[in-house]
Amino acid sequence: MTEQTIYLCDDDAGVRGALSFLLKQHGFTVVAHASGPDLLACIDHNPKELRGVFVLDVRMEPMSGPVLHEQLLQRGLGKTHPVIFLSGHGDIPVAVAAMAKGALNFVEKPYTDDMLLPMLREALVLEDQWHRAAVRRDFLLSMWESLAPQQRRIARLKSAGDLNKVIAAQMHIAERTVEEHWVKVRDKLGVDSAATLATTMAEMRASGVDTSGDTE
């Protein structure tokens, strides 16, 4: 399993070094970057799975924290990895605007250890929850995609409580064909009844898997 990491980005070497030292002293794994482009280059050239939280200073050169956040969102990371902004007093409106785009929180400078450390621990817990949900969604999606189009339609109708003979009439196929497909649906989705199928498909939809719209 890839270790959860605090990805710190601050162009102030003093702040970056002091904060990295503090976090490591409290048991966090930290990777620090001096600029947004450096962090993005690390992300783009690192093939292994990225786990953890981004801590971004608002005012940086040549790329500000909010612009870097936009780049993370474009890479699909801002919604799966919590983002926390470090902001000066005058940066609060900017940080709040970033939160409206999905950032988790902001810490106003000067901050205390008692303020920052619990926030980071909570962010790592949240990231783990998001990660587990994403893994589960990918698993459910792979199961759904393993079904042939006719099997998907039969799965939808069976989960709604329709009988095989009713499904056969709706799909203009033999009831025996429905039964054969139903065996495959149960096997591929790991269900043993229409009731458990309905529960599994409800979980699929709740996780964001589109179970509708297939045509034969």
pLDDT tens digit string along 130-182?
999 999 999 999 999 999 999 999 999 999 999 999 999 999 999 999 999 99
Q: Is 86 helix (H, G, I), strand (E, B) or coil?
A: strand
CATH number of this structure's domain 146-207: 1.10.10.10
In the chain, where the domains are located: 5-135, 146-207
pLDDT tens digit string along 113-140?
999 999 999 999 999 999 999 999 999 9
Q: Is 81 helix (H, G, I), strand (E, B) or coil?
A: coil
Q: How many residues does the chain have?
A: 216
> What is the model's pLDDT at position 214?
53
pLDDT tens digit string along 69-116?
999 999 989 888 999 999 877 777 887 788 888 999 988 888 889 999
- Whether residue 8 has pLDDT greater than 60: yes
Report whether 85 contacts 107 (CB < 8 A). Answer: yes
- Whether residue 216 has pLDDT greater than 50: no
pLDDT tens digit string along 190-210?
999 999 999 999 999 999 999
Q: CB-based burial of residue 189 (10 Å sphere; 0-12 exposed, 13-18 middle, 19+ buried)?
A: buried
CATH 3.40.50.2300, domain 5-135, yes or no: yes
